[in-house]
Amino acid sequence: MMNAYEEYMREVSRPMREELTSAGFEELTTIEEVDTFMNNNDKPALVVINSVCGCAAGLARPAAVRSLSHDKKPVQLVTVFAGQDREATTQMRSYFEEVEPSSPSMAIVQNGKLQYFIPREQIEGHDMEDIIQQLQEAYNKYC
């Protein structure tokens, strides 16, 4: 049974989830979904660790979506939601051992391995065009 706070946060985060899922991102909400994805992703994938943080997440989600207009781009798109789907987020982060946990953040993964990572520090306070450019440069290299 959900308490009032959890229910409130589910409602607050709904449009933030939909911003990505309506653009084709698949939500991974359980440890098993994350493991299945990471153990089977043989093509470049963009992982967005979503967040309710207004400053950085308000840039990360639209930048991730807009970056996909590039000629070269990831084949798979997935997202986990920090603070909401805690176990799934912790499990996804376990595959990113070489980087500090960061929300929001974005990663390119392939064959269960981290290829590229954009932490919150490279999102918050940056122009959206800079974030899109970071992603598209990574797509050129890893996709």
Residues classed as catalytic: 53, 55
Copy the structure tokens of residue 86.
Answer: 């805690």
Contacts of 74 (CB under 8 A, 6+ apart): 43, 44, 45, 46, 108, 139, 143
Instruction: Give which of 93, 92, 75, 105 is closest to 30, Cα–Cα.
Output: 92
Compute CA distances 136 → 69, 114, 117, 129, whole Å.
9, 16, 13, 10
Q: How far is CA 85 from the centre of its chain?
A: 13
Residue among 9, 74, 72 nearest 48 (CA): 74
